[in-house]
């Protein structure tokens, strides 16, 4: 049998010639729940969270799971029970956290486009703080808070103009990105905020991008942020926490990202060297908690030989997993039960009427129609970015814990596709 590499054997491994999620064969999950389906390992999720949490030791800290990575309330609930807080970017995500039983006092609200309605909702729910992204946003939050008779806790998201060395679509810390306040204008904005009666300054925030696989960009950003903390201290503006975002990358193919412990150690060493050991640290990991804890299972529909390529046509598509189409991202594709025999080189593609509907290119596989394949590292930005394009019902989501499994999101039915639509009566 050909050996197939897996990015994380915490939750997924080959045993006796078959792929397992924890103690359940993936083919059994495919038969029980159908395909395509997202399968998550509880053990992998819990291990990733505890790796972050444990790395801090006794240092005061807050781990805030980034809801946008995978927003299923079952996943949120699981993390809430571990003590996680949550990083959100919309009112809808706030309500998801509430529905899942999350502690709303551990919620940080990021994002550049908070509306008055969303700001009011967050204030009424008593979130931990807003990460401010611009001067107009600060003014809007101050106005809404004053109208409600409340004081809004805030941190300013600083854009340090540091190159995260990642895909341009997920880089957020450069001058030409829409996120954060310009580094040179940050102290003045803090002085303005500190003078507002309906604003309470509690922290400072920096998030330079996603899928970062080197420590040097984090080190550069932290030094620049601590320079601002020095200036704020001189202005008599104390802080309670420093938020270093959540951009630590994962292994999809052959990346070698630093460990969570190395990442945390870097942060704490810099704080201690600069005399800020007393400050709490906030992290907002999403991808590095959930990405390698999930797979997308799919069945081969047919094996098509083209003029220049072979195509493995499967029942999953770009509407289920958009990362390859959006970012030309490489996703692992492995058989649930590897076959003995010669492999061929395939492009793995879905049924959608787009040439961009591909999940993997130039993959060596030995397949037959009906075979189950697993697309690895799909926990982050899989279901969360899925759509109904081509009127395709969205996939089921399943959580596996040991030898048991449970649906945490039902597969959509065809009639769900037009629910809320109406025939005209004009």
Binding residues for substrate are 287, 323, 327, 354, 381
Q: Residues comprising the binding site for pyridoxal 5'-phosphate?
A: 247, 284-287, 381
- For the question of residue 21 being annotated catalytic, the response is no
Q: Which of 21, 129, 251, 353 is catalytic?
A: 353
CB atoms closer than 10 angstroms to residue 248:
26
Q: Residues comprising the binding site?
A: 247, 284-287, 323, 327, 354, 381
- Among all residues, which ones are annotated catalytic? 353
């Amino acid at each position: 049998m050909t050996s197939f590499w897996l990015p994380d054997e915490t939750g997924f491994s080959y045993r006796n010639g078959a792929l397992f999620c924890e103690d359940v064969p993936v083919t059994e999950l495919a038969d029980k729940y159908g395909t395509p389906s997202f399968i998550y390992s509880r053990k992998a999720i819990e291990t990733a969270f505890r790796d972050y949490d444990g790395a801090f030791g006794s240092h005061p800290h807050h781990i805030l799971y980034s809801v946008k990575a995978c927003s299923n309330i079952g996943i949120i609930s699981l993390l809430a029970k571990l003590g996680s807080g949550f990083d959100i970017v919309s009112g809808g995500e706030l309500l998801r956290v509430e529905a899942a039983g999350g502690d709303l006092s551990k919620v940080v609200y990021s994002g550049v486009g908070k509306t008055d309605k969303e700001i009011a909702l967050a204030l009424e729910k008593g979130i931990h703080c807003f990460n401010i992204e611009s001067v107009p946003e600060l003014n809007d939050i101050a106005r809404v808070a004053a109208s409600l008779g409340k004081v809004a806790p805030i941190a300013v998201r600083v854009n340090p103009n540091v190159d995260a060395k990642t895909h341009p679509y997920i880089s957020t810390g450069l001058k030409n990105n829409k996120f954060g306040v310009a580094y040179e204008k940050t102290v003045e904005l803090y002085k303005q905020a500190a003078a507002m009666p309906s604003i309470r300054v509690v922290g400072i925030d920096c998030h330079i991008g996603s899928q970062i696989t080197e420590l040097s960009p984090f080190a550069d950003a932290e030094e620049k942020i601590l320079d601002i903390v020095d200036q704020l201290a001189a202005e008599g503006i104390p802080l309670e926490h420093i938020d270093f975002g959540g951009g630590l990358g994962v292994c999809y193919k052959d990346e070698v990202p630093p460990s969570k412990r190395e990442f945390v150690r870097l942060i704490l060493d810099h704080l201690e060297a600069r005399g800020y050991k007393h400050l709490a640290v906030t992290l907002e990991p999403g991808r590095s908690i959930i990405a390698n804890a999930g797979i997308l299972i799919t069945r081969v529909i047919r094996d098509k030989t083209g003029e220049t390529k072979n195509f493995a046509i499967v029942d999953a598509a770009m509407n289920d997993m958009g990362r390859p189409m959006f970012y030309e991202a490489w996703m692992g594709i492995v058989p649930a039960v590897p076959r003995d025999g010669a492999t061929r080189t395939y492009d793995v593609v879905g049924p959608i009427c787009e040439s961009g509907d591909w999940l993997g290119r130039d993959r060596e596989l030995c397949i037959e129609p009906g075979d189950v394949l697993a697309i690895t590292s799909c926990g982050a930005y899989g279901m969360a970015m899925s759509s109904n394009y081509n009127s395709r019902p969205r996939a089921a989501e399943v959580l596996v814990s040991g030898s048991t499994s449970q649906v945490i999101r039902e597969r959509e039915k065809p009639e769900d596709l037009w629910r809320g639509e109406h025939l005209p009566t004009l």
